[in-house]
Amino acid sequence: MTEGGWWNGFRDGRRLPPHAKPDMISLMQNRRVLFFLPFLMGLITLGCEKLEVTVFRARKGLVESTVTSVEAGVVEPWRKASLAASVSGRIVRVYHEEGDRVSAGEPLVELENDLERLRVEESAKDLDRLRRVRDDLVTQEQLDRADFAYRRAQVDHERTNVRATFAGVVAKTNARLGEMVFGSMALAMGTGRGGSDPLVYLIDDSRLFVEAEIDESDLFRVSLDQPVKVSLGGIERTTLQAKVISISPTVSTQEGESRTAKIKSEIVRSHPHPDGSSLAASGDGPPAQQVPLIRVGMSADIEILVGKAEDVLQIPTTAILERGEDKHVFVVRGSKVFRQPITVGIGNWDMTEVRSGLSEGDLVVLPTDAKLLTEGLDVKFVIGTSRQSAR
């Protein structure tokens, strides 16, 4: 092979035979260009495509400042009780099932009480017999003893019944016909049947509350009777009205946990129904509306209204970017985006008040990859809603 012949044969990264002719080499080069041409055109087209962004048109309206719970709270009843038998015995009757509504004093469970009933009958006869005897043959002490024996027999008989201590709902029952129970002493000591579970768990849901924790930094913004929005975890898109009725006097100091304080709010209910549903209303909220059945134990998030501003310029909170103490947004003017510093007022997770830097009608870019946005970038946009900003 002559000098330079090896290189000429290896042009374009391919080892060509020494006898390859120039027209053959040109043909192979042209084929390679044709092969890569679609890829080159695709890259050029991609480079020219505009970034699509979603924008929100700045508008005036109501902005509320809220304090939210650090984690989901729990719906609690007004009263609750774990009921057990006072004495030991065999269960002979269970009056109600789970979910039944009962009145105060209504019997729930009855234990075997044949002996107790006989004592009541005999002591009643003895008392009646003494009362019929002439006064000069019976002393007052004898009458008193007979009366005491009768009343004690009544008490012993009554202790074989488990009754509702208040009107409410049978939330849970562990009473089974024929089983032995060993009294409230066994329940307290954790021994015997019923040592781990009460016979009946009774709740009064005529009033419902939500207990939730807030961060200690928000504690001084909260006061009694402030309106609360309750969002139930088990009912989508349902918000109930409530009010703050209790603020914990202490802050949690458990090691390894955030410093929080417990807030108790009462769900506003009017015209309660026997099935537990109700009309919920608030003086500052929407008109009364029928709400679904609220279950004790449901998870619930709370938002406490601590301030509000009406007819102010507002934008979605998530559109606001921060750099140190400075806050800014990206706005679209024409077909380009520009960084715009702003000053904000009160706000919440959804909307924030803008006090300066924007005007009504400005197109504010909703959340996107901020790294893609640069000053003067050409974009195409679609009008979105505040609901999209929460995604």
Q: Cβ of 260: how many Cβ atoms within 10 Å? A: 22
Check: CB of residue 91 under 8 Å from CB of residue 175: yes
What DSSP letter does each residue of 135-195 carry, written as one string? GGGS-HHHHHHHHHHHHHHHHHHHTTEEE-SSSEEEEEE---TT-EEEHHHHHHHT-STTS
Query: Residue-wise pLDDT tens for the chain (391 aa)?
Result: 444 444 444 444 455 555 555 555 454 455 554 444 554 454 444 455 778 888 999 999 999 998 999 988 999 999 999 999 888 899 999 999 999 999 999 999 999 998 989 999 999 999 998 888 867 788 888 899 999 999 999 999 999 999 999 999 999 999 899 988 887 655 455 544 444 578 999 999 999 999 999 999 999 999 999 999 998 876 666 788 999 999 999 998 876 678 899 999 999 875 444 444 444 443 333 334 455 578 898 889 999 999 999 999 999 999 999 887 889 999 999 889 999 999 999 988 889 999 999 999 999 998 776 667 888 888 888 887 655 554 4
Distance, first Cα to last Cα, the chain: 70
Tokens matching residue 177:
């016909």
Tokens matching residue 186:
């066994």
Tokens matching residue 374:
């640069």
Classify residue 258 by its DSSP letter. -
User: Using alpha carbons only, what angle is made at residue 324 by residues 318 and 328, rounded to the nearest 5 degrees?
Assistant: 45
Would you list the domain boundaries of the chain?
5-45, 51-62+310-389, 67-76+205-308, 80-203
Q: Distance (Å, rounded) from C-alpha 203 to C-alpha 276?
A: 12
Classify residue 133 by its DSSP letter. S
Closest CA to 301 of 65, 64, 71: 71
**Is CATH 2.40.50.100 correct for 80-203?**
yes
* CATH tag, 67-76+205-308: 2.40.30.170
Phi and psi angles of residue 22, each rounded to the nearest 5 degrees, phi first: -55, -40
Q: Distance (Å, rounded) from C-alpha 305 to C-alpha 221?
A: 10
Q: Which fold has domain 51-62+310-389?
A: 2.40.420
Amino acid at the residue 140: Q
Classify residue 203 by its DSSP letter. E
* Burial (Cβ within 10 Å: 0-12, 13-18, ≥19) of residue 197: middle
User: Using alpha carbons only, what angle is made at residue 227 by residues 258 and 315, rounded to the nearest 5 degrees?
Assistant: 80
Amino acid at the residue 116: E
Q: Distance (Å, rounded) from C-alpha 391 to C-alpha 42?
A: 32
